[in-house]
Structure 1
Amino acid sequence: MKTPLHIEIYNSVAELPENWNGLATENVFLSKKYLKVLELSAPSNMHCHFIGLFKDSELVGIAISQLLDLNKLASFGERDKCVKTAVRNVFFNKLCSHILIIGNNMFTGQNAFAYSNQIEKFEILSGLKSAAEKLKEIFKNKGLKVHVTTYKDFPEEDIAAFSQAGFQDHFRYSPQPNMLFDIPDYWKSEQNYIEALSKKYRDQYKRARKKAQGVEKRKMNLNDIIHYEETIYDLYYHVAQNAHFNTFFLAKNHFRVFKELLQDKFLFYGYFLEGKLIGFNTLIKNGAVMDTYFLGYDDSIQREKMLYLNMLYDMVAYSINKGFKEIIFARTALEIKSSIGAKPQKMYGYAKHSNAIADLVFEKVYCYLEPEIVWKERNPFQ
């Protein structure tokens, strides 16, 4: 029997152990600089904590948690107007308004934890179960009852470790897949990508590029982001508000803070038409991986100029030209991302309701509210 890990919960980056970044070398989203972004500009309904896991007083694991208070949201998303949406809203307001996430709800993929080679994966997962209990006590003392605890976005190969760590009493769910774009080593430029496309999808590429004539793409620095902050937020909020489902909205200063702290690792591109900012997208360099982040656009111009599709092509082009190995396009808009070459990776999460009776129906309600998405996978390289 292995000795349980010692758990420490931190409220701020200033409290973190000096050697924290030593375990975050392969994931920028666990680094002190990124955690400082959350500390300074997390969504208003999100409470972040940072978790240290120790073995014999040595830091062997680091993790992040986020508590979402859905009572503070004016809307979960306004795209769908139907009975199911109304049921969902009541369900979340009454039974699931306080959700504790072990992981990062602002990204897709395993950004929950990192650990040293002194421990095994199931040990850190077991430690995170204990951390979740400590966090629930912390929130209880503040008058907040955690309704649901969830561990999000793990690949299939992690399922065995969850079983070893004793998660059999949790509901295992599978959200929409993570869309991944693998870049072959022999691609050195965007032209290699274009040549690899089949005729149908090469024609799609040419059509999109032609539609975007007159649109100017600009790499924006910190001063640019500050100057256009109001417009940027309006463009972001329009897209976010019309999403299928939202559990948070970004703070207005979020992109500014991100650029200030992550500097060249955070890329912000604005799209201008006749001198007016009509859209933007953001990218984050994470080692050899490029993570796509939030974007925004004027919907009327987006349709006319095929702006979203052109943004996807631009992300692919930049990542190839700069030698990245993979692009994480995250979930949503699965079919259009598939049409440019991204492939779905099935992801898993584990969840448990704090109320034993609610926990019995939790799986059925989840499956009702989040049925499997029917979409057609494309292969633009055949």
Structure 2
Amino acid sequence: MKLTPYSLDNHFSYKFSFTIDEVLQDWSNIQHTNLYLSASYLKAIEQSKIPYLSFVYVVIYKKEIPVGIMYFQCLEITNGFYFQDTFPQEINKRITTKLLKKLCGNLMMCGNFFATGVNGYVLNKEVSPHLIYDVIKSLKITLKNDKTPLDFSFLMFKEFWKHQEIDLQKRIQSKKLTAFEIDVNMVLYLKPHWNTFKEYLEEMTTKYRTRAKSVYKKTVSVREQLLTAEEINKHKSIIRDLYLSVVKTASFNMVEFSTDSFYQFKKELKEDFVFKAYFQEDKMIAFSTACFTDGCLDANYVGINYDINNTIPLYQRILYDYVQLAIHHQVKELRLGRTAEMMKSSLGAKPVGMYLYLKHTNKVVNTIIKPLIKSVKPSEYELRNPFKDKVKT
């Protein structure tokens, strides 16, 4: 199917599609190191058929030559969305019945619900960041008039690292998008001289080195195994049970991840996606997943049998195994994600703030919801430093 080009100015234009296959060739011509914007990853997400989630893929051109890509995930927001048990109470308790009707509609997000970081776009150096908002402005009109219309009420950018001082963030805020800080991402910055897990442990104080060794001693009965795509599919039932046991304890998630994606990720991403299962005898009791992207190891999802975790330090074992994997592959960062900040800091991870940007396309509603958005605050946490004083972190 031939896609229609839409002009932005005398030099730039764009094309869009609801499936990656229709823009595959031009999409793949944009060079980058972000796994979450690779055609293979996006195809895996698309094939997972996650309920209520749709996608828009945009390729930006300069005189018919691809110079940028943008990725959107689209979600329908209904009344029930605001009354989930885990929805932020700071907002929920301030929503009136009258306002609720105005807060329903489609949310279009530049980024990825299932991965942290700036995963919504890649632009060649010759392209100014202001073009991103020009595309969105045109795309809103185009999608509304398309044969399969998609009119979005909310626009979101997910998500920028707090320390990133980039022109786009300033431009986004100038367009009346409200910034709000979300829970920190715990990041372990690996030292170049950590060639082995032993060398990493040697830089810890006696207390934390002893603790790490104790975790492995107490979980000696646990066997770990890297699974292939076929093995993931074989164990999909227990994988789903373990995953859901963690979801029940988690904070608010806008979209429920599909465990079928694990199979799709391994099939499409090969060695860039790691699925590690943990067994006691022949029973799977936990799993962890991670992706290699942009020189980093990004820890994604875990599933745990909490009954067993109450008797042995299973989750801590998973965290230390992430460190071992990161050192083995000599990555620059291990991104451990949100939650369990104190436990992750005991591995040497540091908190890094992150921002989301949100806007309602109705000016009046946008003004009303701004204080609601700003009422959301990151969770409080305690930190530990496991390293000796002489070790710089």
Q: Same fold (TM over 0.5)?
A: yes
The one of 100, 109, 133 aligned to 1:101:
109
Q: Distance in 1 between matches of 2:351 and 2:84?
A: 24
Question: Per the alignment, in what secondary structure is the counterpart of residue 291 of structure 2?
Answer: strand
Give yes or no for the alignment of 1:111 onto 2:119: yes
Counterparts in 2 of 1:331 and 1:74: CA distance versus 1, 3 Å: same
Q: Distance in 2 between matches of 1:79 and 1:166?
A: 28
How do 1:159-198 residues align onto structure 2 when only pairs under 5 Å count?
Answer: 159-164=166-171, 167-198=174-205
Q: Distance in 1 between matches of 2:313 and 2:366?
A: 44
For 2:328, the aligned partner's letter is: N
* Contact 2:183/2:338 (<8 A) preserved: yes
Q: Distance in 2 between matches of 1:282 and 1:339?
A: 21
Query: How far does the alpha carbon of each residue in 1:193-225 deviate from its partner, in whole angstroms, 9 at most, with x for none?
Result: 111112222232123222212111111112211
Q: Distance in 2 between matches of 1:351 and 1:35?
A: 23
Comparing 322-331 with 263-272, greater Cα deviation is found at 322-331
Structure 2 length normalisation: TM-score? 0.86
Give yes or no for the alignment of 1:356 onto 2:363: yes
* Contact 1:76/1:247 (<8 A) preserved: no
What residue ranges of structure 1 are gaps of 5+ in the alignment? Answer: none
State the shift of 1:145 in Å. Answer: 4.7
The one of 156, 160, 181 aligned to 1:154:
160
Per the alignment, residue 5 of structure 2 pairs with: none
* Contact 2:204/2:386 (<8 A) preserved: yes
Question: Per the alignment, in what secondary structure is the counterpart of residue 18 of structure 1?
Answer: helix
For 1:54, the aligned partner's letter is: Y
* Contact 1:4/1:127 (<8 A) preserved: no
Give yes or no for the alignment of 1:14 onto 2:21: yes
Give yes or no for the alignment of 1:302 onto 2:319: no
For 2:121, the aligned partner's letter is: F
Q: Distance in 2 between matches of 1:135 and 1:330?
A: 36
State the shift of 1:281 in Å. Answer: 0.3
Q: Distance in 2 between matches of 1:3 and 1:349?
A: 32
The one of 287, 304, 307 aligned to 1:280:
287
Counterparts in 2 of 1:166 and 1:217: CA distance versus 1, 3 Å: closer
State the shift of 1:85 in Å. Answer: 8.3
Query: How far does the alpha carbon of each residue in 1:346-379 deviate from its partner, in whole angstroms, 9 at most, with x for none?
Result: 22222111232321132321233x2232111222
Q: Distance in 2 between matches of 1:143 and 1:17?
A: 22
State the shift of 1:44 in Å. Answer: 0.9
Count of aligned residue pairs for this structure pair: 378
Aligned-residue CA RMSD in angstroms?
2.9
* Contact 1:220/1:268 (<8 A) preserved: yes
How do 1:37-186 residues align onto structure 2 when only pairs under 5 Å count?
Answer: 37-71=44-78, 78=85, 87=93, 94=101, 95-96=103-104, 98-120=106-128, 122-130=129-137, 133-134=140-141, 137=144, 142=148, 145-155=151-161, 156-164=163-171, 167-186=174-193
Question: Per the alignment, in what secondary structure is the counterpart of residue 296 of structure 1?
Answer: strand
Identical aligned residues as a percent: 25
Give the structure with the larger helix fraction: 1
What residue ranges of structure 2 are gaps of 5+ in the alignment? Answer: 1-8, 389-393
Query: How far does the alpha carbon of each residue in 1:26-77 deviate from its partner, in whole angstroms, 9 at most, with x for none?
Result: 1111111111112201421211111111122211111210012244978986
Comparing 356-365 with 50-59, greater Cα deviation is found at 356-365
Give yes or no for the alignment of 1:375 onto 2:381: yes
